[in-house]
Amino acid sequence: MSSKLIAPSILAADFANLQCDIEMVNTSDADWFHIDIMDGVFVPNISFGMPVLQAITKHAKKTIDVHLMIVDPDRYIKTFAELGSDVLTVHYEACTHLHRTLQAIKNEGMKAGVALNPHTNINVLEDTINDIDLVCIMSVNPGFGGQSFIENTYNKVSQLKELITRKRASTMIEIDGGVTNKNAKALVDAGADVLVAGSYVFKSSDQIKTVKDLKGLANS
């Protein structure tokens, strides 16, 4: 069984001490940096944009997993590739021509991800799953860190796992929102490959230990 991955979400980091928090992730057992880009239109919040991402990638030594919560993401695919994104995830709900968007992401040399809001059914990916490297199941409504985990997520993970197996796809399953030590193992047991954790990691008193414990649970 391949190892399950932990992706701390930088949205919950201390922006006045960003380099320090990036070094924490570099040193920790974490696998990816999860970077949330919000435009204030697709979601009711604005996070940060290109200059901050550039500052992050300058110091980050692990995979850069960018989660775009923006309308019309096609406009920025090339820019995010140039900024060093390894995985670029767009929202299903923000893409009119999802298949075209996925090809455009791959043509820029990145892995292509699709995020689904809590209200969006897995079956919308029936015809694109073989073109998707990663599906990000939102386990909170996107826009803010620190929200409570939506329990229906377990059903969605199982449904997605079934779809991936049935279509013989090699898509990874990522869970984003409200991930803690309470749900990590159950999510992995349901089929998750990547766990994003923001508040749970950065608001803890010993972040290195929190990441180590989460990784241990996910791989237990």
List binding-site positions for a divalent metal cation: 34, 36, 67, 176
> Residue 111's CB: how many other CB atoms inside 10 A?
17
3-state class of 69 per DSSP?
Answer: strand
Instruction: Show the binding pattern over residues 32-71: x = contacts Zn ion (CB under 5 A), - = does not.
Output: ----x------------------------------x----
Q: For residue 147, what is the DSSP state? A: P
Q: Which residue is nearest to Zn ion (CB)?
A: 67
Q: Output the smallest distance, CB 78 to Zn ion, in A.
A: 21
Task: Write the CB contacts of 7 (distance below 8 Å, at least 6 apart in sequence).
Answer: 30, 31, 32, 33, 34, 65, 174, 194, 195, 196, 197
DSSP 65: E
Smaller CB distance to ligand DX5: residue 113 or 191? 113
Q: Which two tokens stand for residue 78?
A: 């090339």
Query: Residue 209 corresponds to which amino acid?
Result: K
Residue with tokens 């349901």: 190
Contact 50, 75 (CB under 8 A): no
- Residue count of the chain, please give it: 220
CA dist list (Å): 180 to 47, 88, 167:
22, 24, 31
Least separation in angstroms between residue 148's CB and ligand DX5 is: 9
Q: What is the pattern of x (binds ligand DX5, CB under 6 A) and - over residues 130-159?
A: ----------x-xxxxxx------------
Distance in angstroms (rounded) separating the CA atoms of residues 200 and 156: 22
Return the one option of Zn ion, ligand DX5, none that residue 91 interacts with (CB less than 5 to 8 A, by type). none
Q: Which of residues 67-96 bind Zn ion (CB under 5 A)?
A: 67
How many positions of this chain bind ligand DX5 (CB under 6 A)? 22
Segment 88-127, which members bind ligand DX5 (CB under 6 A)? none
- Catalytic positions are 36, 176
Residue 197 interacts with, from ligand DX5, Zn ion, none (CB under 5-8 Å by kind): ligand DX5
Instruction: Report 172-211 residues binding Zn ion (CB under 5 A).
Output: 176
Residue nearest to ligand DX5 (CB): 198
Q: Which residues are annotated as a binding site?
A: 9, 34, 36, 67, 143-146, 176-178, 198-199
Tell me the CA distances in angstroms from 200 to 8, 10, 59, one per residue in order.
9, 12, 22
Residues touching Zn ion, count (CB under 5 A): 3
Q: In the Cβ-directed half-sphere of 190, how many Cα atoms lie within 13 Å? A: 22
**Contacts to ligand DX5 by CB under 6 A:** 9, 11-12, 34, 36, 67, 140, 142-147, 176-179, 196-200
Residue numbers at the binding site for Zn ion (CB under 5 A): 36, 67, 176
